[in-house]
Amino acid sequence: MRYTGFLFGVGALVTLSLRANNLQITNFSVNQANQTVSFQVSWQNAWRLTTPPNNWDAVWIFVKFRACNEFTQPWTHGVISTNLADHTIPAALEPVLSDGSGIGIDPAPNNLGIMLRPATPGTYATFGPHSVTLKITNMPTTGQYDFRIFGIEMVFIPEGAYTLGTLDGWHSTSTEAARAFDQNGNNGDPHVPYNITSENAISLRWAGSGNTSITVPASFPKGFKAFHVMKYEISQGQYAAFLNTLPASNASLRYLGSYNTNRNRLANNGSYPNQYYSDREDRAQNFLSWHDLCAYLDWAALRPLTEMEYEKICRGPLPEVRGEYAWGTTNIVFGNTIGLIPENGTEVFTDPANANCTGGAVAYTGGDGGQGPVRVGIHAKPNSPSREASGASYYGVMDMSGNVWEMVVMVSAPDGTVGSPTYTGNWGDGVLDWTTGTANQPSWPLGNPGGFGLRGGYWGNNWWEHRVSARNCSYPGHTCKNTRNPDHRSSDAGGRGAR
């Protein structure tokens, strides 16, 4: 993981801020008269596969700008021209629609960024740098403005059927045994997992509900349709970059506090344009509340995941394995020793060398020590021989088991009814409610209690919480660390978004 950034200005103040798998956006410049931005983009370990899992990684790129010295005003989210002829994109790159269905820019009003993937199938140790010029249709042609460009590495999840649930998760209503399942995962009743074969409405019974079932509407994202998801959990550097483009009043609402607690290094005592910063930019951001996560995703024109999509990302089209983790087996090894002092974004666990999960409430030796999250993607070493060795999901998404909890939209609410029946998976619009500093998407579950829960386990959990279908902190009525309070911040919670 690397961060490349610089600040310069010729008639405009231009800054850069991004994070991912050595994702670098360099040589950023702005031509206001032509309403264009130009840059070079590169990242490591890129792929586009025509064999299973038949997917690719990509970079979601977006631009924001604000009149110089207007520190109390919100930043404007750049609108990308939907006419490909307005852009200069090299042959090695392809702009792809967010659902992967074709080449192009998402139609208005969702043309708030560009998804760039490798144009040619293959795997690439280093992809780029490639020079790109984009037309921003709402860019002012005159005046003094700050401009910032952002990049987030994504992974494509193809359309297709998958299996929902195992002994520690969801069951179909037609085959569920009457008795409730032990939520600690130590025993349970035989069952047949549910096969999701479309986005049609379905009835589900969650393990632990007895005979209670719920109907999930067709509009609720179930993971069958194709989408892109963030390859990594939100990092501390990414969250700081988000805060640095909010008006001061909003930024203070979304600042997490708890500096230097459980390895949270997000600070607020810098100077413009980087008042917020972390000296561990690649470490997963913890202490996020549900409102914090949704604000970040709305700002980035992404959206929250659902818990059903979470299982699709982990398992892919493969049959369920009882007690499996995100890498498809039941073998889990927690890391103990971080082999680099101080941590700089290239650190890995050296003891045990085959660590594939961040969990177990380990007080680390080496590195910066302490207990808390680690660098996102830390278990994926060069030439990792398997998903199990790298801790990767079926589609190559990292840290879906361990590090920080994944906050997701729930199927079930505390009363056992559908948790978020109005949630349709609509994308954020790049701006927030500037009075409250919260997401402004009416279909997202933003109320109190929130229609969200936790999946995948965190750095302090024992083995059973990290399993793909474990819902110990998500089932109706459970108060696991205030999971129903959208403003609660905990050292264990983080997340990622989709588009």
Q: What is the pLDDT of residues 295-312, one digit of tens each?
A: 999 999 999 999 999 999
- CA pseudo-torsion sign 104, 110, 111, 114: negative
Q: Which two tokens stand for residue 215?
A: 């109907």
> Considering only CA atoms, which of 134, 128, 133 is closest in space to residue 57?
128
Q: What value does the mean pLDDT take over residues 207-236?
A: 85
Q: Which three-class secondary structure state does DSSP give residue 293?
A: helix
| DSSP secondary structure string for all residues of 373-425 | --BTTTT--TT--SHHHHTB-TTS-B-SSSSSEEEEE-SB-TTSSBS-TT---
C-alpha 254: how far from chain center: 17
Residue with tokens 């805060």: 243
Per the CB < 8 A criterion, the answer to whether 350 and 337 are in contact is yes
Please say whether the structural domain 159-499 has been given the CATH code 3.90.1580.
Answer: yes
Residue with tokens 């193809």: 158
Per the CB < 8 A criterion, the answer to whether 375 and 311 are in contact is no
- Phi and psi of 389, rounded to 5°? -65, -35
* pLDDT beyond 60 at 183: no
CA 55-58-63 angle, to 5 degrees, is 155
As to burial, measured by CB atoms within 10 angstroms (0-12 exposed, 13-18 middle, 19+ buried), residue 29 is middle
| DSSP secondary structure string for all residues of 98-144 | TTSSSBS-PPTTS-SSEEEEESSSEEEEEEEEEEEEEEBTT--SSS-
* pLDDT beyond 60 at 250: yes
**Average confidence score pLDDT of the chain:** 87
Collect all residues with Cβ–Cβ distance below 8 Å to 253 and sequence separation of at least 6.
436, 437
Collect all residues with Cβ–Cβ distance below 8 Å to 161 and sequence separation of at least 6.
195, 196, 197, 224, 317
Q: How far apart are CA 190 and CA 415, in angstroms?
A: 25
Lowest mean pLDDT among 131-140, 184-193, 346-355: 184-193
Per the CB < 8 A criterion, the answer to whether 463 and 232 are in contact is no
As to burial, measured by CB atoms within 10 angstroms (0-12 exposed, 13-18 middle, 19+ buried), residue 263 is buried
Between β-strands 405-409 and 452-455, what pairing exists: parallel, antiparallel or unpaired? Answer: antiparallel
Lowest mean pLDDT among 107-116, 169-178, 490-499: 169-178
Q: pLDDT band for position 215 (50/70/90)?
A: confident
Provide the residue ranges of all domains of the chain, joining segments of one domain with +: 1-157, 159-499
- Identify the H or E element spanning 299: helix 290-299
Per the CB < 8 A criterion, the answer to whether 409 and 304 are in contact is yes
> What's the Rg (C-alpha) of the chain?
22
Note the pLDDT tens digit of each residue in 434-455. 888 999 998 899 876 668 889 9
Residue with tokens 């990092």: 235
Q: How far apart are CA 62 and CA 111, in angstroms?
A: 10
- Identify the H or E element spanning 37: strand 36-48
pTM, two decimals, is: 0.92
Note the pLDDT tens digit of each residue in 401-433. 999 999 999 887 655 555 677 899 999 999 999
